[in-house]
């Protein structure tokens, strides 16, 4: 099955730095006590999730807390997202991993800001 078939919302290309924190691990990894940068970059996003490039290694089904700026609205979005796809083979020699994540929890205010962003960008 093609990964595009799994997407249920249009994606927009972005380049947004974000902070992450592992809050749930399917293999009982040590959880993070606070958000950290880790050279994390969101390179595309939809209303339901995003694509993350990071130096952090996560297992599929891990849940991370994320925080990222929406400068157009002078807001910082805070949410929880689950790793649904992992590409551990692409850039491990460069210390980078790629993940597809879907939002699992977001305050309604942040959901509204995200929806405004997509309406503005035509997504």
Sequence spans of domains, the chain: 3-121
Q: What is the pLDDT of residue 16?
A: 95
Q: What is the pLDDT of residue 83?
A: 98
95-99 contacts, C-beta under 8 A, 24 or more apart? 95/55, 96/39, 96/53, 96/54, 96/55, 97/53, 97/54, 97/55, 97/56, 97/57, 97/58, 98/51, 98/52, 98/53, 99/51, 99/52, 99/54, 99/58
Q: What is the pLDDT of residue 1?
A: 38
Instruction: Return the CATH class of domain 3-121.
Output: mainly beta
- Report, as ranges of residue numbers, the positions in the chain whose pLDDT lies below 50: 1-5
């Amino acid at each position: 099955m093609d990964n595009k078939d799994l997407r249920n919302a249009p994606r927009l290309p972005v380049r947004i730095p974000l902070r992450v924190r592992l809050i749930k691990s399917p293999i009982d990894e040590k959880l993070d006590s606070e958000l950290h940068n880790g050279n994390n970059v969101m390179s595309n996003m939809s209303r339901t999730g995003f694509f993350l490039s990071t130096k952090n290694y996560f297992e599929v089904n891990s849940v991370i807390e994320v925080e990222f700026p929406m400068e157009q609205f002078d807001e910082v979005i805070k949410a929880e997202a689950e790793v649904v796809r992992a590409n551990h083979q692409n850039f491990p020699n460069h210390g980078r991993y790629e993940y597809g994540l879907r939002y699992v929890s977001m305050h309604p205010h942040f959901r509204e800001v995200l929806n405004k962003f997509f309406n503005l960008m035509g997504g």
